[in-house]
Amino acid sequence: MNLQFDNLQLDEVLGREARAERRESRVKGQESGFRIQDSGFKMGLMGLMGLMGLLGSTVRAQELSAADSLWLAKADSMRLEEMQEIVVKGVRATKKTPVAYTNMTKEQLKAVNYGQDVPYLLSLTPSITMTSDAGNGIGYTSLRVRGTDPSRVNITANGIPLNDAESATVFWVNMGDFASSVQSMQIQRGVGTSTNGAGAFGATLNMQTESIGMKPYVGIDVSGGSYASHKETLRFSTGMIGEHWGIQGRLSDIGSKGYLDRASTKLHSYFLQGGWFGDNTVVKLITWNGIEETYHAWNYTSKYEQSLYGRTYNSCGVMGYDADGKPNSYYNDQTDNYHQRNYQLIWNQQYTGKLSSNVGLHYTKGQGYYQQFQSAATQMMYGMSWASYGLSTDESVVEDLVDQQKMDNDFYGVVASVDYNNKENLEVIVGGGWNRYVGDQFGHIVWVKPGVATTVADPAALTPDFEYYRNHAVKNDVNIYGKATYEFVRGLNAFLDLQYRHIDYKLQDPTVAYGVNADKIYVINHHYNFFNPKVGLNYDVNDHHKVYASFGVGHKEPVRNNFMQQIANPDRTDTKARPEQLQDLEVGYKFQSTKFTGGINIYWMNYKDQLVLTGELNAIGEALTKNLDKSYRLGVEVEAAWMPVDWFRWDANATWSRNRVKDMVVTLTDGSNVNLGDQPLAFSPDLIFNNIFTFKYKGLKASVQSQYVGDQYLTNTGFKEMACMDENGNTTYETLLLKKHFHTNVDLSYSFSLKKFRIQDITAGVTFYNIFSAKYDNNGWAAPQLVNDNGSIKAVNEWGVRDSGAAGFAPSAPFNVMGHLSVSF
């Protein structure tokens, strides 16, 4: 693995300048095209005379022809790629944009893409922590940036929103192997620049899908290793057909048994695009499709359960216990199943060397369900009863049941942007989008084991496929933005970014309890109007030194789960869902030379009504959030890269931060409220450090990647532990932290070609993950009770033995291996 971040990429500094000069030369050539055509007769006559002169020197003519053909082929290829890059111009930061960002190229992604999801591929970039339910990065994964949860990261593909409209989250499991079809990624930390879709409260991740190149190819990527993990990818492209047409695509299969018991994953996907390419026009139809089946692993397990059943214990799907109380039977179909289809129609147009535009139409169809076994014990755990399923309140009516909670949704819209760049000192981008979500969520009872009693609230409840709830949601999201970069003094650029966003969100009933909502009334009907300004300065002092500063404001609406909590607790003011506001100040410095680059970025993110992770989960493993009146994140991000010789490179980055909620008010078990003062924000480590050593010799590459993540609180109360009782009634203390950890990966690979057999490239290698078998947890939850013990507030567990019922943890896999082979024809 050799992550080379754009703002730290030593060996491409001069290359970027050369490409900029070539682009400027081509633009001048296009602008002078009419003058060339007007003098066409004179040029034609001179060309004929020159051709006659060249006939006397056949060899020299052939040499010139080969050189010219090579130059023209490279120019055409570069022009083709630039035309396809117009699609992300409206949402990406450039070297003149005063924000903190990191770029990853296709080559960098390929070097780490062996089957794990996108959050794992980004895990060594600054300020990121990631989670994995299964423990090995395949299946349900997510990323947090600067401590903010995944629903606060805006994610787009080709400028088109990917975040689910109701949860504001991207479920990467629905987009298996998507990284294999990505040309480049840019992650902007903080409020970032204006984009389409959900508001960015921690970061913006924009992706450009793969470009269709000039040359045809076929490639095969195969990976396999621990926990029966595997990935098979077939890549293909026609190149340019008849100078104007091209088709490119991918077929993928990914699977794993997971590190945790039964945490299996099956992912099938494809990516297909076709395009028409003119001198100044690109039109592409892009579609990708993902089918996933994963066994539930979202309950997590307490340290007490792990002490009894092992670190890989997974409580999801437990059906029965033996005489000693040990789980001995599991429900085989405790699975999550989803089918997602994405379609994009994109038109990029270059009008002149200074003016271009992008228009994208999109449609996403999502259908799926999760199925689970429910017993009386699990109902008690989540404070539910059989009445939630339309059954009698008498618990003896039903002993067990299996239910399906289903989704059927449509998301569609249009995005567009226009870019004007005078190639001197001014660039202006105007863009926006309209997006609409229409979704149904409904639940079916598919099997019931009757109890002693026989009366039910509805006799149909004991028949298969009984629908016990249904609700409908509609969300419209409109935004328009304008961005301008103006160089008013040589090297000094001012940046202005203004966005207006309007959201209409209607929900018939966000709960998942019995009732069909026959009156069709929208119990949630909210309208939000947000104005998000950003300003900044970027000063290139000289070729080596750069400083910048920016200030931005962002707003974000509550998500479905926030309204679920509000309805479930109508008498509590702390669960009322409110929109949140972020004020983000970023100040940075960068240095670059041919052997060393480095940078520092200082950020201050001040929140009003931030929706913060509470540490609790709902019944399907989703992390819950609630508004906290005042909170902030203050941090320093440092990046550096050193390449003293051609065969060795050292990359490192670190984030030191202070993340606090002000005046944290909690409710004690006696019903009283207490102000705990300023406390650390949950899931926000004070220190993250990444280190990468990369060695290259001819086709051999070796990389050593290490990461340190500091302690993470599981709640916002500041308690590191809670008082509990063990099996014998003795007082014990259990952790309320994801404890700090340090782990190291080693990647080895060798690349060569066999052009005699028309094989352009072969790369074979092996990656050793967590080589020291560090035992750490990547995620968790906690819901302790808070009591007043003689004037001292304490966290306790009154639900079960030790930490059972009050905390759970998602262990990461110890030492494991993945071999990989890539062949391109």
Judge whether 714 and 742 are in contact, CB under 8 Å: no
Tokens of 576: 């009322």
Closest CA to 584 of 146, 191, 199: 191
Question: pTM here?
Answer: 0.88
In the DSSP assignment, the letter for residue 170 is -
Burial letters 230-267, b for 16+ CB under 10 A, else e = bbbbbbbbbebeeeeebebbbbbbbbbbbbbbbbbbbb
Measured CA to CA, the distance from residue 88 to residue 68 in angstroms comes to: 31
* pLDDT means over runs of 10, the chain (825 residues): 40 39 42 35 37 36 48 61 79 90 90 88 93 95 93 92 92 94 94 83 90 91 97 95 92 97 97 93 96 95 95 93 88 96 96 93 96 75 68 67 93 96 94 96 85 53 73 94 94 95 92 72 92 96 95 94 84 83 96 95 96 83 86 97 96 97 93 94 97 95 97 96 94 96 97 89 96 96 93 93 95 97 94
Pairing of strands 737-738, 355-375: unpaired
CB atoms within 10 A of CB 215: 11
pLDDT at 447: 85
Measured CA to CA, the distance from residue 771 to residue 767 in angstroms comes to: 10
How many Cα atoms sit within 13 Å of 336 on the Cβ side?
Answer: 20
Judge whether 765 and 748 are in contact, CB under 8 Å: yes
Cα dist. 252→6, 115, 228, 770, 824 in Å?
29, 10, 16, 26, 16
How does DSSP assign 808-819, residue by residue?
EEEEPP-SEEEE
Could you report the per-residue pLDDT of 199-245, keeping only the tens digit for each?
778 899 999 999 998 899 999 999 999 999 999 999 999 999 988 99
pLDDT at 43: 37
CB atoms within 10 A of CB 206: 28
pLDDT at 646: 94
pLDDT at 683: 96
Burial letters 125-142, b for 16+ CB under 10 A, else e = bbbbbbbbbbbbbbbbbb
722 phi/psi in degrees, rounded to 5: -130, 150
Tokens of 314: 């997974």
Using H for helix, E for strand and C for coil, what is the string for 426-469? EEEEEEEEEEEEEEEEEEEEEEEEECCCCCCCCHHHHCCCEEEE
247 phi/psi in degrees, rounded to 5: -130, 140
Measured CA to CA, the distance from residue 227 to residue 299 in angstroms comes to: 20
Cα dist. 110→15, 125, 155, 179, 751 in Å?
21, 16, 20, 8, 13
Task: Look at the block and give the residue holding tokens 């103006």.
Answer: 486
Task: Look at the block and give the residue holding tokens 């990284």.
Answer: 179
- Which SS3 state, helix, strand or coil, does residue 182 take? strand
Single-letter residue type at 698: K
| Whole-number CA gyration radius for the chain | 29
Judge whether 243 and 251 are in contact, CB under 8 Å: no
| Burial class for 70, CB neighbours closer than 10 Å (0-12, 13-18, 19+) | exposed
- Which SS3 state, helix, strand or coil, does residue 59 take? helix
Measured CA to CA, the distance from residue 379 to residue 384 in angstroms comes to: 5
How does DSSP assign 537-572, residue by residue?
EEEE-SSSEEEEEEEEEEEE---HHHHHHHHH-TT-
How does DSSP assign 387-400, residue by residue?
GGGT--SSTTSEEE
Closest CA to 437 of 165, 29, 244: 165
| Burial class for 332, CB neighbours closer than 10 Å (0-12, 13-18, 19+) | exposed
How does DSSP assign 491-515, residue by residue?
TEEEEEEEEEEEEEEEES----SSB
- Which SS3 state, helix, strand or coil, does residue 654 take? strand
How does DSSP assign 691-736, residue by residue?
EEEEEEETTEEEEEEEEEE--EESSSS--SEEEEE-TTS-EEEEE-
Judge whether 154 and 555 are in contact, CB under 8 Å: no
Tokens of 679: 């406390």
Sequence-distant (≥ 6) Cβ neighbours of residue 340 within 8 angstroms: 174, 175, 289, 290, 364, 365, 366, 368
C-alpha triplet 32, 38, 43: angle, nearest 5°: 95
Judge whether 429 and 196 are in contact, CB under 8 Å: no
Residues recorded for the chain: 825
Measured CA to CA, the distance from residue 1 to residue 4 in angstroms comes to: 10
Sequence-distant (≥ 6) Cβ neighbours of residue 211 within 8 angstroms: 80, 81, 84, 85, 183
Quick one: CA torsion of 804, 808, 814, 819, rounded to 10 degrees?
130
C-alpha triplet 735, 569, 672: angle, nearest 5°: 60
Judge whether 754 and 722 are in contact, CB under 8 Å: no
Using H for helix, E for strand and C for coil, what is the string for 737-805? EECCEEEEEEEEEEEEEEHHHCEEEEEEEEEEECCCCCCCEEEEEECCEEEEECCEEEEECCCCCCCCC
Sequence-distant (≥ 6) Cβ neighbours of residue 87 within 8 angstroms: 158, 159, 208, 346, 348, 358, 360
Cα dist. 480→191, 204, 531, 680 in Å?
16, 17, 10, 36
Judge whether 281 and 333 are in contact, CB under 8 Å: no
Single-letter residue type at 721: E
Could you report the per-residue pLDDT of 498-527, keeping only the tens digit for each?
999 999 999 998 888 777 666 778 889 999
Which helix (H) or strand (E) is 410 found in, with range? strand 398-421
Q: What is the largest CA-CA distance in the chain?
A: 106
Tokens of 610: 């931030």
Cα dist. 711→214, 439, 664, 680, 781 in Å?
49, 39, 20, 11, 14
